[in-house]
Amino acid sequence: GQAAGGVEDRVLRGLSLDVVKGSKVAIIGRTGSGKSSLFSALLRFYRSTGHLTVQGEDWKSMRLPRLRKAIRLIPQEPQLFGHTVREALCGPVSFEDEAVWMVLNRVGLHTRIARLPMRLDTPMRQGSLSQGEAMLLCLARALLHPAAVMLCDEVSSSVDLATELRIMNLILSLSNVTVLCICHRLHHIHHFSHVAILQRGRVVEFGSIPVLLSDPLSALTEHMRSAGLAKEL
């Protein structure tokens, strides 16, 4: 359960997930189903009940700075902090240029940043990054600061299809990282290992995607039909 503002308001009710380390889990559900509230609870933005183990430690006993390093959030709207591109990527941590350029190459921004007037030291306001490029820069930052768990909140909902494909390929290729991804579009669903379907703050279905798609009565199958993806069943 989750409470906010001092008033008991259980947005999440009896929600239970058993996620194996390294799993790639798609989180789907209609507006108001509790998807973003789940992420807020995991990051302890609100008071909540329940149990979660991160790297063998109860997440409630972890200090918030350590928790936020162990669980990395990539929000729906890219948020970049820092005066320069380098600061936006590295934060207060010092990285060799080679490591920074390596992650930029992985996300497909090497050429774009290399063409800026001062390259990594270009002020962010002069970068004129598109929405998709800003999202890729957020992903590059996450790659520089690896975490045990990555939460992706509809990261592909406001980018073009090519950028969406690059983002999905990157997050799904992360070895030894547990990924929970709120999915806006379902045509990538086959590439995840598991899916959790939320409804009114509860998990109504959780399991292996191939198994659920083989069941014509599953909630996942119904979501695929509603999205016009029946031919992919």
CATH superfamily of 2-79+148-232: P-loop containing nucleotide triphosphate hydrolases (3.40.50.300)
Tens-place pLDDT, residues 16-58: 788 889 999 999 998 888 898 889 888 888 777 777 777 778 8
Instruction: Classify strands 57-58 and 53-54 as parallel, antiparallel or unpaired.
Output: antiparallel
Q: In what order do the strands lie in the sheet with 178-182?
A: 71-74, 149-153, 178-182, 24-28, 194-199, 202-208
Question: Three-state DSSP class for 201?
Answer: coil
Model pLDDT, residue 65 = 87
Q: Where are the domains of the chain?
A: 2-79+148-232
Q: How many CB atoms neighbour CB 166 within 10 A?
A: 21
> How many whole angstroms separate alpha carbon 140 and alpha carbon 99?
11
Largest CA distance in the chain: 56
Ranges of the chain whose pLDDT falls below 50: 1-8
DSSP 82: S
Contacts of 216 (CB under 8 A, 6+ apart): 233
Tens-place pLDDT, residues 145-157: 999 999 999 887 7
> How many whole angstroms separate alpha carbon 168 and alpha carbon 173?
8
Model pLDDT, residue 127 = 61
